[in-house]
Chains A and B, each alone.
Chain A
Amino acid sequence: MTATLKAAVIGTGLISKEHLTFLEASALSELVGVCDLSPAAAGYAAQHFKAQAAFTDYHEMLATAKPDVVHILTPPQLHKTMASDCLKAGSHVICEKPITLSYDDFKDLWEVAQQCDRYLIEDQNYRFNEPILDMQRLIAAGDIGDVQEIEVRLVLDLRSGGRFADENLPSPVHKLPAGVIHDFITHLCYLVFTFAPEAEFNRISAAWSNHGGGDLFKYDDLDALLISEAVHARIRFSCHTQPDCIAVTVRGAKGYVETDLFQPYLRCVMPRSVGKQLTPLTNQFLTGREFVNASIRNFRQKVMQKTPYEGLHRLLDQTYKAILNGSAPPISFDDMARSSRLVEALLLEANRL
């Protein structure tokens, strides 16, 4: 019989569906509690995802359900307090990004996790999407040479509707230091480090803009340049260019690879075994074939309700296995610390590009 961990979730907003879908299906977990301030929301999630109990007070849930693992899916302002409480209650913590609002807060929280001998994991889900893993494999095999440039572009049309554009009840993320971009910037930062884990970016410039104007959004656009000894990286966040995407391009000394996690494909332009003259034609032919395959694959994925959160399920699966085996977690201290420090550095550069 497979060992299982008792899991609980705090917060039943949009992202909870992905965590709860995993917990409902996984043989590694037993969903013992769901908590939300709204009794109806907690009750719905508990019923829909077959949790053993619904709670409106997470302290009560920790005391009653005694979960081994707690998923914290609340607004970022609440993460540090809640995560600290969960760790001290003896639960491992998987927390949505950004795990804390500052690097110092992260170090404090990490210290608590160490004292309590518990795992502390930030959801860096896109690291675990299939195209990103494929890109890492190609780079590790030396197919594009040493990494020289990384561009990570996140485009979300947040201004034309939905919860972030709602002026009647502004989302709490608007109160974060970088406003709504703060809720997404962790993705941009960790994806850079995914392909340049050792890079020390000592020259950082960032332009934070509010092109759409108004009081609701602090910023709706970020254009940042990061330069280390050997690697250049560009981080882009835009609300104004379309279509929505998470586009990642990694350029090496010999070639480049690129993808878009919202419409997944993998384009590889690199030296081929057919010789220098025929390599460009071969790359174009293989790119064409990949786009045709991707169109069929993505249509099937859309119909079958596979979302860009496939990486989250992989991350959670690896995390639960690591906890059960006592092995290294899939997201390390360095993974979280580096992206947390980079977020802070980008914030310090507000409007200094």
Chain B
Amino acid sequence: MKLLVTGASGFLGRAVVAAALQHGHQVAAMLRPKTDAARLDWHTHEAVSLVRLDLRQRRGLADAVSGCDAVVHLAAVKGGEFYEQFAGTIVATENLLAAMLEADVKRLVAISTFSVYDYLQLPQGALLDESAPIEDEPAHRDGYAQTKLIQEDLVHDFQQQHAGQVTVIRPGMVYGPDNLWNPCLGEEFGSRFLRVGASGCMPLTYVENCAEAIVLAAEKDEAVGQTINIVDDHLPSKKAFAEALLKQDPNPPKVTPVSWAFMQFLAGAAWFINQKLLKGQAKLPGLLVPAKLHGRFRPHRYSNQKAKQLLGWSPQVSLEEAISRSL
């Protein structure tokens, strides 16, 4: 197959290109014009062609997409001002889909996120799988969740109105060299790392495992029209994951455990005061906004059964090995 991979120089994109090459595919790796390609291991691979375009404008996109069997769409802006996230995630997706229509390329693997789920509607400790409710009050969530929700809508429109052959992949927390002390584990606070909760299960997927699932999704006809969650096997608790990191990380942060119940109380109290006394106008830190707090830390159980059944996928890299490779 010939795959066009957007966001190819990103944390997950680099691994997806590597996995696609291992599967014997041709890859058109889309990079922003100023990206330093020399830092990408595969930049001189004979099966890779570099496509230097910015998805925020349409110029050249249809030519880039033309002739590809499938597009794996990873490009997104995760931080910064909301309007930068909007342009880098939503306008980028809008332009990509327009180019796919123009080039008559219908197969799309769109990378979404667990952030689109409505954590407050799901009972604590319940199974979070593909049937879990989607956030219906995005204004209470962060810019990343808001933009990814709109992106999913665009992708579904492409599927329904233009006969797009779409697979939506929702990875859990993708970790690896760039993302070990991650936002599902806790929050940096000065020189300390506040680990929020202890026994709750972490929805982790190691970057190479996740990349393998994404490439399989592009290959499998059974994945067309499906939404698939990606998490690894044998998911650790927050406490166990932090301890595993501390065991191997040569420069760990100072970890301060904070009880999940305490954080729930704190966020609930802040929310109550904001709504009752301040008419909901106060802008509070994310940890004090229940929808954001629960989106990151609420304990649930997770399943990768659908990914295994539809894709024939099985995460190959264990937690210990993943941490070892990441450090």
Contacts and interface: CB of A to CB of B under 8 A. Distances in A.
Interface of A: 13-14, 17, 38-41, 44, 48, 161-163, 167-169, 302-305
B278 interface: yes
B3 interface: no
Contacts of A14: 81, 83
B150 A44 contact: yes
Contact of A167 (B33, B94, B139): B33
A168 B32 contact: yes
A305 B84 contact: no
A187 B86 CA distance: 27
B88 to A, nearest CB: 10
Residues of B in contact with A, size category: 20 to 34
A40 B81 contact: no
Given A169-B56, A303-B283, A40 B84 contact: no
A41 B151 CA distance: 12
B83 A40 contact: no
Interface string B87-110: 000110110000000000000000
A337 B56 CA distance: 36
A13 B84 CA distance: 9
Given A40-B91, A44-B150, A167-B34, A305 B81 contact: no
B154 interface: yes
Contacts of A162: 80-81, 84
Contacts of B34: 167-168
Nearest to A305: B283
10 contacts: A13-B83, A38-B91, A40-B154, A44-B90, A162-B80, A163-B84, A167-B34, A303-B283, A304-B282, A305-B283
B191 interface: no
A136 B282 CA distance: 31
B64 to A, nearest CB: 15
Contact of A304 (B32, B57, B84, B278): B278
B94 A39 contact: yes
A41 B91 CA distance: 7
B90 A304 contact: no
Given A163-B84, A167-B34, A168-B33, A41 B281 contact: no
B208 interface: no
Which one of A39, A41, A167, A302 has the greatest number of beta carbons of chain B within 10 Å?
A: A41
A266 to B, nearest CB: 24
A303 B282 contact: yes
A167 B54 CA distance: 10
Contacts of B33: 167-168
Given A162-B81, A167-B34, A40 B281 contact: no
What are the 6 A-B residue pairs with the smallest beta carbon separation, nearest first? A168-B32, A169-B54, A167-B34, A14-B83, A305-B283, A168-B54
A17 B84 CA distance: 13
B89 to A, nearest CB: 10
A118 to B, nearest CB: 29
A178 B83 CA distance: 25
A304 B280 CA distance: 9
A337 B93 CA distance: 42
A161 B77 CA distance: 13
Contacts of B56: 169
B154 A305 contact: no
A169 B57 contact: yes
Interface in B23-40: 32-35
A276 B230 CA distance: 76
Contacts of B282: 303-305
Contacts of A13: 83
A286 to B, nearest CB: 30
B250 to A, nearest CB: 29
Contacts of B57: 169
B59 to A, nearest CB: 10
A40 B35 CA distance: 27
Which one of B34, B83, B84 has the greatest number of beta carbons of chain A within 10 Å?
A: B83
Which one of A41, A161, A162, A169 has the greatest number of beta carbons of chain B within 10 Å?
A: A169
Given A304-B278, A304-B282, A305-B282, A40 B94 contact: yes
Nearest to A17: B83
A151 B51 CA distance: 48
A132 to B, nearest CB: 24
Interface string B48-63: 0000001011000000
A161 B150 CA distance: 25
B94 A44 contact: no
Interface string B143-172: 000000010001000000000000000000
A215 to B, nearest CB: 11
Contacts of B278: 304
Given A39-B94, A162-B81, A162-B84, 11 more contacts: A38-B91, A40-B94, A41-B91, A44-B86, A44-B90, A161-B80, A167-B33, A168-B32, A169-B57, A303-B284, A304-B283
A217 to B, nearest CB: 15
A103 to B, nearest CB: 31
Contacts of A161: 80
Contacts of B91: 38, 40-41
Contacts of B83: 13-14, 17
A44 B139 CA distance: 12
A240 to B, nearest CB: 21
A303 B289 CA distance: 13
Contacts of A169: 54, 56-57
Nearest to B91: A38
A305 B54 contact: no
A48 to B, nearest CB: 8
